[in-house]
Amino acid sequence: MLCLSPCAPHRHLHHLHRRHPPARPGAAAASCRNARGPGVALCLRTPATPEERRQRRRVARLHDASAASASPAAPAAPALKPPATAPAAPAPAVRPIPTAERRGRLREMRRLWWVCGVGYWVQGFRCFPWLALNFHLARGLGLSPAALQLVQNAGNLPLVAKPLFGVLSDAVYIGRAHRLPYISIGALLQLIAWGTLAIIPVTGDTFPTQMACILVGNLGASVTEVVSDAVVTEFSRTQKAGVLQSYAFIALAAGSLLGNLSGGYVLLKTQEPKIMFTAFSVLLGFQLALSLGTKETLPSTPRNTRSRLVTSSLAANLRKQFSNLMMAISEERIFYPLAWIMTSFAVVPILSGTMFCFQTQYLKLDPSIIGLSKVVGQVMVLSLTVLYNRYLKRIPLRHLIAGVQMLYAVAVLSDLVLVKQINLMLGIPNEIHVLCFSALAEAIAQFKVLPFSVLLSSLCPPGCEGSLFAFFTSGLVFSAILSGVFGVGLSTLIGVSSVDYSTLPLGILLQSLAALLPLGWISFLPEKWTADEKVVMQR
């Protein structure tokens, strides 16, 4: 019968080892252990004596104990598994602290977004004092259309220096922060400029001082705009594509809407630009106080933490930041869209100063009509922004911009209807035409920047947010200055003056044709890129 008995390993396989010796010492013992377990041998024999029966029972009990310990159903092995998950056990105990910190950071981020939203709103509301300043320059100082347009474009020269401010905000920290301090500085400069304009007398002798205030005010505005764009770019990496840019455009358009709506009414009732300068100064004081009372909280990206506070010299930081900016711009996927948007503005001669004088001096329109026309334009920008965020961002960039550019060329021709008085032939008063169509081209041109802002946000390297968007916006300002200079040259070439607007229709036709020229190099834009994509596709 089959039985189990304890034995030494060498006593059961020695007859096999005589025929097939083991390859190494101890192999016999290993073979025995593998075959029958530790200290137990299998054999076929019949126990005859009582001693052998007792021995068989002892071996059977030993076998049962061994089988129980080796059984798969034994709970000993699973009992060793919990220590593997032990490191995760302390997580619930420390979870309330990160949750509280997260809530605190969310509150600070909301306050920071309030600062940026107010900054964009104030940036749009700048049309409120500028409307009064344009009337002051045209009526109070008697500037010609060409001179007024030159002053407007010369006042925008500080905006060309935006890349410098962007590099400074990226590389230079002020009190362990590198965004909000610059917003405060920009608001302070604007407060000084517009406060001075509200105090000095309105005479021709003070024109140099007024021009200096215009330059300082635009300098502060450029600093604030650069830093706000950088904050939007940093936060856009944590949000759905295009949402934050749309938020910024809506705040900007809302400020412009209210500024134009209230500016025309206040100027019509008071006829005093200083009141508007004072009111805007109070608003700038509120923006300054809000920025000073807010703690800077930015997304925790590897290059936007406090570890970026390097100990190298300021010159080394600036050189490194300029180098990073040039490397970013040199990439084809960034360079070609930048080149297209800048040239699309530069090649179109703008006749804004000439049209302003034609409407106010020749047609004798009230300031409220001019302000309301700007309001309608900003409503169009708001509508286009919402439409883009919902539907238009799914259209490939090249097709979208081509359609927008053709629409802009058609909108420019609406001024031709006013100059030729075709609207009167159709029974439409000048006030209604100016109210509905005067700011149409300007609104389309302003909206055209939004898709490029979304594109650059998806391509901007970490750490270059301020400098790249400063370069982008300064390039747009420089293109607008060139466009204004070309407009002055065009109006002078065709002989437009404050007493003779007979050749203005020719200038509008040339302007509309020039608006179609950028379609010739539309291939610079990515063909298949949409706002939902994070990487631009090759051309």
What confidence score (pLDDT) does residue 49 get? 64
Of 11-15, 56-60, 246-250, the one with minimum mean pLDDT is: 11-15
What is the average per-residue pLDDT within 420-440?
A: 88
pLDDT at residue 341 greater than cutoff 90 = yes
Question: What are 31's two structure tokens?
Answer: 């073979």
HSE-up of residue 195 (Cα within 13 Å, Cβ side):
11
DSSP string, 248-310: HHHHHHHHHHHHHHHHHHHHHHH--HHHHHHHHHHHHHHHHHHHHT--------TTSSGGG--
pLDDT at residue 410 greater than cutoff 90 = yes
What is the average per-residue pLDDT within 139-152?
A: 75
Q: What angle do CA 196, 202, 207 make, to 5 degrees?
A: 75
CATH number for the domain whose boundaries are 105-295: 1.20.1250.20
Q: What confidence tier does 317 reach under pLDDT thresholds 50, 70, 90?
A: confident
How is the chain split into domains, by residue range?
A: 105-295, 320-538
Looking up tokens 């080892």, which residue turns up? 17
pLDDT at residue 183 greater than cutoff 70 = yes
Q: Which amino acid is at 389?
A: N
Q: What angle do CA 128, 385, 409 make, to 5 degrees?
A: 85
Question: What are 136's two structure tokens?
Answer: 């002051």
pLDDT, tens digit, for every residue of 191-225? 999 999 888 876 667 788 888 999 999 999 988 88
- Residues linked to residue 42 through DSSP beta bridges, in sequence order: 4
For residue 214, give every residue at least 6 positions away whose Cβ sits within 8 Å of its Cβ, in sequence order, or none.
Answer: 133, 151, 155, 193
pLDDT, tens digit, for every residue of 52-111? 666 667 666 655 554 544 444 444 444 444 444 444 444 444 444 456 666 666 666 677
The Cα–Cα gap between 532 and 243 comes to: 11
What confidence score (pLDDT) does residue 202 get? 66
For residues 382 and 257, the answer to whether their CB atoms sit within 8 Å is yes
The mean pLDDT value of the chain amounts to 75
SS3 letters across 156-167? CHHHHHHHHHHH
What confidence score (pLDDT) does residue 456 get? 86
φ/ψ of 41, rounded to 5, equals -120, 145
The Cα–Cα gap between 480 and 147 comes to: 16
pLDDT at residue 32 greater than cutoff 60 = no
The Cα–Cα gap between 284 and 31 comes to: 92
Query: Do the domains 105-295 and 320-538 sit in the same CATH topology, yes or no?
Result: yes
For residues 445 and 410, the answer to whether their CB atoms sit within 8 Å is no
φ/ψ bin of 15: left (φ > 0), alpha (ψ from -120 to 50), beta (otherwise): alpha
What confidence score (pLDDT) does residue 44 get? 44
Assign domain 320-538 one CATH number from 1.20.1250.20, 3.20.20.60, 1.10.3720.10, 3.40.50.300.
Answer: 1.20.1250.20
